[in-house]
Amino acid sequence: MANYKCPTLGDCERANTGEIFERSPGEDLHCPDCGTLLEPQIVRAPTGGARKPVVIAAVAGIVALAIVGGGAGIYYKKTHAAPAAVADSAAQAQASSDKAPAATDTAATSASDVQPTADNREGGIAPSAGEIDAQRKAGDAKLAHGDAVGAEAASNDAATKEMIKVAIADMAQGKLDHADKELDDAAARDPKQPLVYYNRAVLRLKQGRTDDALKQFEASFLNGFSYFDAMAKDPDLAGIRSDPRFAALVQKYRPATM
Protein backbone atom coordinates (compact mmCIF):
# COMPACT_ATOMS: atom_id res chain seq x y z
CA MET A 1 0.00 0.00 0.00
CA ALA A 2 1.22 3.54 -0.75
CA ASN A 3 0.06 6.90 0.60
CA TYR A 4 -1.30 9.68 -1.59
CA LYS A 5 -2.78 13.17 -1.16
CA CYS A 6 -4.96 15.32 -3.38
CA PRO A 7 -2.84 18.28 -4.65
CA THR A 8 -5.70 20.73 -5.40
CA LEU A 9 -5.45 22.89 -2.28
CA GLY A 10 -8.16 25.52 -2.19
CA ASP A 11 -10.40 23.67 -4.64
CA CYS A 12 -10.96 20.36 -2.85
CA GLU A 13 -12.02 19.83 0.77
CA ARG A 14 -10.00 16.61 1.05
CA ALA A 15 -6.89 18.41 -0.17
CA ASN A 16 -7.49 21.23 2.31
CA THR A 17 -7.74 18.79 5.23
CA GLY A 18 -4.62 16.92 4.14
CA GLU A 19 -6.45 13.60 3.98
CA ILE A 20 -4.20 10.59 3.25
CA PHE A 21 -5.41 7.96 0.79
CA GLU A 22 -3.95 4.44 0.83
CA ARG A 23 -3.88 2.77 -2.56
CA SER A 24 -2.56 -0.55 -3.85
CA PRO A 25 -0.99 -0.92 -7.35
CA GLY A 26 -3.72 -0.89 -9.98
CA GLU A 27 -6.30 0.94 -7.83
CA ASP A 28 -7.89 4.17 -9.03
CA LEU A 29 -5.51 7.03 -8.20
CA HIS A 30 -7.93 9.92 -8.59
CA CYS A 31 -9.34 12.00 -5.75
CA PRO A 32 -12.85 10.70 -4.91
CA ASP A 33 -14.05 14.32 -4.49
CA CYS A 34 -12.57 16.34 -7.35
CA GLY A 35 -11.18 13.62 -9.64
CA THR A 36 -7.65 15.09 -9.67
CA LEU A 37 -4.72 12.64 -9.89
CA LEU A 38 -3.41 11.97 -6.39
CA GLU A 39 0.22 12.73 -5.53
CA PRO A 40 2.38 10.01 -3.92
CA GLN A 41 3.85 10.98 -0.57
CA ILE A 42 7.52 11.00 0.35
CA VAL A 43 8.77 8.15 2.54
CA ARG A 44 11.54 9.08 4.95
CA ALA A 45 13.95 6.74 6.66
CA PRO A 46 14.22 7.04 10.47
CA THR A 47 17.27 9.02 11.56
CA GLY A 48 19.96 7.48 13.71
CA GLY A 49 23.66 7.63 14.32
CA ALA A 50 25.88 10.04 12.45
CA ARG A 51 24.46 9.16 9.07
CA LYS A 52 22.07 11.42 7.28
CA PRO A 53 18.93 9.61 6.09
CA VAL A 54 18.33 8.75 2.49
CA VAL A 55 15.10 10.32 1.30
CA ILE A 56 13.33 8.79 -1.67
CA ALA A 57 10.45 10.74 -3.16
CA ALA A 58 8.21 8.72 -5.45
CA VAL A 59 9.27 9.47 -8.98
CA ALA A 60 5.91 10.93 -9.95
CA GLY A 61 6.90 12.77 -13.08
CA ILE A 62 9.98 14.13 -14.78
CA VAL A 63 12.46 14.37 -11.93
CA ALA A 64 15.35 16.63 -11.11
CA LEU A 65 18.04 14.71 -9.25
CA ALA A 66 20.09 16.40 -6.55
CA ILE A 67 22.97 14.99 -4.54
CA VAL A 68 22.95 16.17 -0.92
CA GLY A 69 26.13 16.95 0.95
CA GLY A 70 28.97 15.05 -0.72
CA GLY A 71 27.19 11.73 -1.13
CA ALA A 72 25.56 11.83 2.30
CA GLY A 73 22.09 11.42 0.79
CA ILE A 74 20.08 11.41 -2.43
CA TYR A 75 16.61 12.72 -3.14
CA TYR A 76 14.32 13.13 -6.10
CA LYS A 77 12.46 16.41 -6.56
CA LYS A 78 9.09 16.18 -8.30
CA THR A 79 8.43 18.55 -11.17
CA HIS A 80 5.27 16.96 -12.58
CA ALA A 81 2.61 15.05 -10.67
CA ALA A 82 1.61 11.58 -11.89
CA PRO A 83 -0.49 8.97 -10.09
CA ALA A 84 1.23 5.68 -10.33
CA ALA A 85 4.75 5.95 -8.84
CA VAL A 86 5.06 4.30 -5.42
CA ALA A 87 7.98 4.94 -3.03
CA ASP A 88 9.54 1.90 -1.40
CA SER A 89 11.02 2.09 2.08
CA ALA A 90 14.08 4.30 2.27
CA ALA A 91 15.17 2.53 5.42
CA GLN A 92 15.23 -0.76 3.54
CA ALA A 93 17.33 0.80 0.79
CA GLN A 94 19.73 2.21 3.39
CA ALA A 95 20.07 -1.17 5.09
CA SER A 96 20.76 -2.92 1.81
CA SER A 97 23.59 -0.50 1.09
CA ASP A 98 25.48 -1.89 4.08
CA LYS A 99 25.35 -5.54 3.07
CA ALA A 100 24.26 -6.04 -0.55
CA PRO A 101 26.81 -6.61 -3.33
CA ALA A 102 27.41 -3.89 -5.88
CA ALA A 103 24.41 -3.39 -8.20
CA THR A 104 24.87 -4.51 -11.77
CA ASP A 105 22.80 -4.39 -14.93
CA THR A 106 21.63 -7.96 -14.22
CA ALA A 107 18.76 -6.77 -12.02
CA ALA A 108 17.46 -4.43 -14.69
CA THR A 109 17.77 -7.11 -17.34
CA SER A 110 15.83 -9.66 -15.30
CA ALA A 111 13.07 -7.10 -14.78
CA SER A 112 12.65 -6.51 -18.49
CA ASP A 113 12.53 -10.25 -19.14
CA VAL A 114 9.30 -10.71 -17.15
CA GLN A 115 6.46 -11.00 -19.65
CA PRO A 116 3.24 -8.97 -19.35
CA THR A 117 -0.03 -10.79 -19.83
CA ALA A 118 -3.36 -10.09 -21.47
CA ASP A 119 -6.27 -9.96 -19.05
CA ASN A 120 -9.18 -11.61 -20.86
CA ARG A 121 -11.70 -9.76 -18.70
CA GLU A 122 -10.36 -6.25 -19.24
CA GLY A 123 -8.56 -6.41 -22.55
CA GLY A 124 -5.32 -4.63 -23.32
CA ILE A 125 -1.92 -5.88 -22.21
CA ALA A 126 -0.82 -4.90 -18.71
CA PRO A 127 2.72 -5.20 -17.37
CA SER A 128 2.84 -7.97 -14.80
CA ALA A 129 3.12 -7.22 -11.09
CA GLY A 130 6.35 -9.25 -11.08
CA GLU A 131 7.87 -7.07 -13.77
CA ILE A 132 7.05 -3.86 -11.91
CA ASP A 133 8.27 -5.26 -8.59
CA ALA A 134 11.54 -6.41 -10.15
CA GLN A 135 12.21 -2.97 -11.56
CA ARG A 136 11.45 -1.30 -8.24
CA LYS A 137 13.94 -3.62 -6.53
CA ALA A 138 16.49 -2.88 -9.24
CA GLY A 139 16.01 0.83 -8.61
CA ASP A 140 16.43 0.37 -4.84
CA ALA A 141 19.63 -1.61 -5.36
CA LYS A 142 21.09 0.99 -7.69
CA LEU A 143 20.15 3.84 -5.36
CA ALA A 144 21.69 2.07 -2.37
CA HIS A 145 24.98 1.78 -4.26
CA GLY A 146 25.13 5.32 -5.52
CA ASP A 147 23.90 4.76 -9.09
CA ALA A 148 21.45 7.65 -9.06
CA VAL A 149 20.96 7.70 -12.83
CA GLY A 150 20.22 3.97 -12.98
CA ALA A 151 17.86 4.25 -9.99
CA GLU A 152 15.96 7.08 -11.66
CA ALA A 153 15.61 5.11 -14.91
CA ALA A 154 14.34 1.97 -13.14
CA SER A 155 11.88 3.92 -10.99
CA ASN A 156 10.65 5.86 -14.01
CA ASP A 157 10.08 2.64 -15.94
CA ALA A 158 8.14 1.08 -13.05
CA ALA A 159 6.00 4.21 -12.72
CA THR A 160 5.22 4.19 -16.46
CA LYS A 161 4.03 0.61 -16.25
CA GLU A 162 1.84 1.42 -13.23
CA MET A 163 0.22 4.19 -15.29
CA ILE A 164 -0.49 1.70 -18.08
CA LYS A 165 -2.25 -0.56 -15.57
CA VAL A 166 -4.36 2.36 -14.36
CA ALA A 167 -5.31 3.20 -17.96
CA ILE A 168 -6.40 -0.40 -18.62
CA ALA A 169 -8.53 -0.35 -15.46
CA ASP A 170 -10.09 2.93 -16.61
CA MET A 171 -10.92 1.43 -20.00
CA ALA A 172 -12.56 -1.56 -18.32
CA GLN A 173 -14.80 0.86 -16.40
CA GLY A 174 -15.66 2.84 -19.52
CA LYS A 175 -13.61 5.86 -18.42
CA LEU A 176 -12.07 6.35 -21.84
CA ASP A 177 -11.13 10.01 -21.34
CA HIS A 178 -9.30 9.16 -18.11
CA ALA A 179 -7.51 6.29 -19.82
CA ASP A 180 -6.48 8.58 -22.69
CA LYS A 181 -4.95 11.05 -20.21
CA GLU A 182 -3.12 8.29 -18.35
CA LEU A 183 -1.59 6.97 -21.57
CA ASP A 184 -0.62 10.48 -22.68
CA ASP A 185 1.19 10.97 -19.37
CA ALA A 186 2.84 7.56 -19.68
CA ALA A 187 4.02 8.38 -23.22
CA ALA A 188 5.46 11.68 -22.01
CA ARG A 189 7.34 9.82 -19.27
CA ASP A 190 8.66 7.03 -21.52
CA PRO A 191 8.10 7.57 -25.27
CA LYS A 192 9.85 4.28 -26.09
CA GLN A 193 7.56 1.99 -24.07
CA PRO A 194 5.70 -0.19 -26.62
CA LEU A 195 2.85 -1.09 -24.26
CA VAL A 196 1.85 2.58 -24.09
CA TYR A 197 1.14 2.60 -27.83
CA TYR A 198 -0.39 -0.87 -27.84
CA ASN A 199 -2.93 0.04 -25.17
CA ARG A 200 -3.57 3.38 -26.83
CA ALA A 201 -4.43 1.38 -29.98
CA VAL A 202 -6.91 -0.67 -27.91
CA LEU A 203 -8.40 2.60 -26.63
CA ARG A 204 -8.77 3.92 -30.19
CA LEU A 205 -10.64 0.74 -31.13
CA LYS A 206 -13.01 1.32 -28.22
CA GLN A 207 -13.53 4.85 -29.52
CA GLY A 208 -14.33 3.54 -33.00
CA ARG A 209 -11.18 5.12 -34.50
CA THR A 210 -9.79 2.17 -36.45
CA ASP A 211 -7.39 4.17 -38.64
CA ASP A 212 -5.83 5.82 -35.58
CA ALA A 213 -5.65 2.44 -33.86
CA LEU A 214 -3.61 1.03 -36.75
CA LYS A 215 -1.14 3.92 -36.42
CA GLN A 216 -0.75 3.19 -32.70
CA PHE A 217 -0.23 -0.52 -33.35
CA GLU A 218 2.56 0.29 -35.78
CA ALA A 219 4.14 2.71 -33.29
CA SER A 220 4.10 -0.07 -30.71
CA PHE A 221 5.69 -2.57 -33.12
CA LEU A 222 8.35 -0.03 -34.13
CA ASN A 223 9.26 0.49 -30.46
CA GLY A 224 9.99 -3.19 -29.92
CA PHE A 225 6.63 -4.77 -29.07
CA SER A 226 7.25 -8.49 -28.57
CA TYR A 227 4.13 -9.75 -26.81
CA PHE A 228 2.39 -11.25 -29.82
CA ASP A 229 1.21 -14.31 -27.90
CA ALA A 230 -0.52 -12.09 -25.35
CA MET A 231 -1.94 -9.98 -28.17
CA ALA A 232 -3.54 -13.09 -29.69
CA LYS A 233 -5.56 -13.50 -26.46
CA ASP A 234 -6.69 -9.87 -26.22
CA PRO A 235 -10.49 -9.79 -26.65
CA ASP A 236 -10.48 -6.13 -27.67
CA LEU A 237 -8.82 -7.04 -30.97
CA ALA A 238 -11.63 -9.34 -32.11
CA GLY A 239 -13.04 -6.77 -34.50
CA ILE A 240 -9.76 -5.86 -36.17
CA ARG A 241 -8.11 -9.25 -36.63
CA SER A 242 -9.91 -9.73 -39.93
CA ASP A 243 -8.79 -6.31 -41.20
CA PRO A 244 -6.15 -6.94 -43.91
CA ARG A 245 -4.25 -3.80 -42.85
CA PHE A 246 -3.82 -5.16 -39.32
CA ALA A 247 -2.87 -8.60 -40.61
CA ALA A 248 -0.23 -6.98 -42.84
CA LEU A 249 1.23 -5.06 -39.87
CA VAL A 250 1.48 -8.20 -37.76
CA GLN A 251 3.07 -10.14 -40.60
CA LYS A 252 5.59 -7.33 -41.17
CA TYR A 253 6.74 -6.94 -37.56
CA ARG A 254 6.19 -10.32 -35.93
CA PRO A 255 9.44 -12.31 -35.92
CA ALA A 256 9.38 -15.26 -38.29
CA THR A 257 10.47 -17.60 -35.47
CA MET A 258 7.33 -16.91 -33.40
DSSP conformation letters of the chain: -EEEE---TTT-HHHHTT--EEE-TTS--B-TTT-PBPEEPPEEPPPBTTBPPPEE----SSEEEEEETTTTEEEEEESS--S---PPPHHHHHHHHHHSPPP-HHHHHHHHHSPPEE-TTT-SEEPPHHHHHHHHHHHHHHHHTT-HHHHHHHHHHHHHHHHHHHHHHHHHTT-HHHHHHHHHHHHHH-TT-HHHHHHHHHHHHHTT-HHHHHHHHHHHHHTT---HHHHHT-GGGTTTTT-HHHHHHHHHHS-TT-
Question: Would 14 be classed as within a structural domain?
Answer: no
Contact (CB, 8 A) for 165 and 153:
no
Question: Would 195 be classed as within a structural domain?
Answer: yes
pLDDT at 59: 36
Q: Count of CB atoms within 10 A of residue 233's CB?
A: 14
CA dist., res. 231 & res. 124, Å (int) = 8
* Number of domain units in the chain: 1
Contact (CB, 8 A) for 214 and 249:
yes
pLDDT at 100: 42
Question: Would 11 be classed as within a structural domain?
Answer: no
pLDDT at 226: 92
Question: Would 153 be classed as within a structural domain?
Answer: yes
pLDDT at 52: 39
CA dist., res. 192 & res. 32, Å (int) = 32
Question: Would 2 be classed as within a structural domain?
Answer: no
Q: Which residues span the domain enclosing 236?
A: 42-253
Question: Would 139 be classed as within a structural domain?
Answer: yes
Question: Would 155 be classed as within a structural domain?
Answer: yes
pLDDT in tens, the chain (258 residues): 678 888 877 677 887 788 888 877 767 788 888 888 887 776 544 444 444 333 333 333 333 333 333 333 333 333 333 434 333 444 444 444 444 444 444 333 333 334 455 444 567 998 888 888 888 899 899 989 999 888 888 888 999 999 999 999 999 999 999 999 999 999 999 999 999 999 999 999 999 999 999 999 999 999 999 999 999 999 999 999 999 999 999 999 998 766
Side chain identity at residue 214, one-letter code:
L
Question: Would 178 be classed as within a structural domain?
Answer: yes
Burial class (CB in 10 A: 0-12, 13-18, 19+), 96: middle
pLDDT at 166: 95
| pTM for the full predicted model | 0.56
